[in-house]
């Protein structure tokens, strides 16, 4: 499965899909290629509705790519069955404390990320390093933007927030982020990071360091949803035998440590 590329050993696995939209379908098609069994699907907008909890019963891991409004209830239902979860749905992070309580009380494993793409996660690490390098040079302003398809529910995207939080942490001369199309008031302390919603773009992020004389950019462009699906399946194989609350960064850090001795 996807894990073989990264050196994480995997074994045959059964998964259930909560949410059978663009991502649910992308995961299903990759799972079929990798010989992973999709034993259940739940989605109110498809024929696979109202079959909780039998739908989830046979699965080793449930993968939730649904809607921010339903994610906590979905986690509660899967946790009640003792199922480990991969949560890719974005826009629910104010509920993390409550979800952590559910995970602990049910003694399951849950791994979440606003973005399960390996490339994006390594891009965030690059952005952290770049922010550290550019922070002492105030002639370089720091900003960026994101582009996603026009059906996306959240704005800014969860990944945009992750990128900006990373920039703030590693470039302390910047103290806040202006998202959306709002005008910035304090260019010295604010990061401008607008969002464009257009067509079918799976996800583009660009971070810019700009001085009067030159511009340095780092960008990550997803060509399709396969990168997210690969990461989600890697996360499923990683979480199936673990208990606790994790992020995708825990996997990346483990791989970096095992393969390169860095953290």
Ligand X SMILES: NC(=O)c1ccc[n+]([C@@H]2O[C@H](COP(=O)([O-])OP(=O)(O)OC[C@H]3O[C@@H](n4cnc5c(N)ncnc54)[C@H](O)[C@@H]3O)[C@@H](O)[C@H]2O)c1
Binding residues for (S)-2,3,4,5-tetrahydrodipicolinate: 149, 158-159
CB of residue 240 to ligand X, shortest distance in Å:
18
70 binds ligand X (CB under 6 A): yes
- What size, in residues, is the chain? 263
Binding-residue total with ligand X (CB under 6 A): 27
The residues that are catalytic are: 148, 152
55 binds ligand X (CB under 6 A): no
130 binds ligand X (CB under 6 A): no
Among positions 83-112, residues that touch ligand X (CB under 6 A) are 88-91
Nearer to ligand X, 93 or 145 (CB): 93
Query: Which region among 4-12, 21-29, 103-111, 235-243 touches ligand X (by CB under 6 A)?
Result: 21-29
Q: What CA–CA distances, in Å, run from 180 to 1, 146, 147, 150, 218? A: 38, 10, 11, 14, 20
Which residue of 1, 23, 56, 235 would you call a contact of ligand X, by CB under 6 A?
A: 23
x-marked contacts with ligand X along 155-184 as a string, rule CB under 6 A: ------------------------------
Q: What CA–CA distances, in Å, run from 251 to 97, 117, 234, 263? A: 21, 12, 9, 11
SS (H, E, C) the chain: CHHHHHCCCCCCCEEEEECCCHHHHHHHHHHHHHCCEEEEEECCCCCCCCCCCHHHHCCCEEEECCCCCCHHHHHHHHHHCCCEEEECCCCCHHHHHHHHHHHHHHCCEEEECCCCCHHHHHHHHHHHHHHHHHCCCCCCEEEEEEEECCCCCCCCCHHHHHHHHHHHHHCCCCCEEEECCCCCCCCCCEEEECEEECCCCCCEEEEEEECCCCEEEEEEECCCCHHHHHHHHHHHHHHCCCCEEEEHHHHHHHHHHHHHCCC
Query: Which region among 16-24, 77-85, 127-135, 209-217 touches ligand X (by CB under 6 A)?
Result: 16-24
CB of residue 164 to ligand X, shortest distance in Å:
16
CB of residue 183 to ligand X, shortest distance in Å:
27
Nearer to ligand X, 47 or 261 (CB): 47
Nearer to ligand X, 119 or 244 (CB): 119
Query: Which region among 39-47, 171-179, 188-196, 237-245 touches ligand X (by CB under 6 A)?
Result: 39-47
28 binds ligand X (CB under 6 A): no
42 binds ligand X (CB under 6 A): yes
Binding site for ligand X (CB under 6 A): 18-24, 42-45, 65-67, 70, 74, 88-91, 113-116, 153-154, 228
């Amino acid at each position: 499965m996807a894990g073989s590329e990264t050196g994480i050993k995997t074994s045959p696995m059964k998964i259930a899909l909560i949410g059978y939209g663009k991502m649910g379908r992308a995961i299903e098609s990759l799972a079929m290629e990798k010989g992973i069994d999709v034993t259940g699907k739940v989605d109110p907008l498809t024929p696979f509705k109202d079959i909780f909890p039998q739908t989830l019963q046979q699965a080793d891991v449930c993968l939730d790519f649904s809607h921010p409004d339903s994610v906590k209830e979905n986690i509660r239902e899967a946790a009640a069955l003792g199922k480990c979860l991969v949560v890719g749905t974005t826009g629910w992070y104010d509920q993390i404390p409550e979800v952590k309580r559910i995970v602990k009380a049910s003694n399951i494993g849950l791994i979440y990320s606003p973005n399960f793409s390996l490339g994006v996660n390594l891009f965030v690490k690059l952005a952290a390093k770049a922010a550290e390098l550019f922070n002492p040079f105030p002639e370089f302003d720091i900003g960026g933007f994101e582009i996603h398809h026009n059906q996306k529910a959240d704005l800014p995207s969860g990944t945009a927030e992750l990128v900006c939080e990373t920039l703030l942490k590693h470039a302390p001369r910047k103290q806040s982020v202006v998202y959306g199309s709002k005008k910035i008031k304090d260019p010295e302390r604010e990061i401008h990071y607008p969002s464009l919603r257009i067509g079918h773009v799976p996800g583009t992020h660009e971070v810019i360091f700009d001085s009067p004389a030159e511009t340095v950019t780092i960008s990550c462009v997803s060509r399709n949803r396969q990168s997210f699906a690969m990461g989600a399946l890697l996360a499923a194989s990683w979480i199936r035998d673990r208990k606790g609350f994790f992020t995708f960064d825990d996997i990346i850090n483990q791989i970096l440590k095992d393969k390169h001795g860095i953290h």
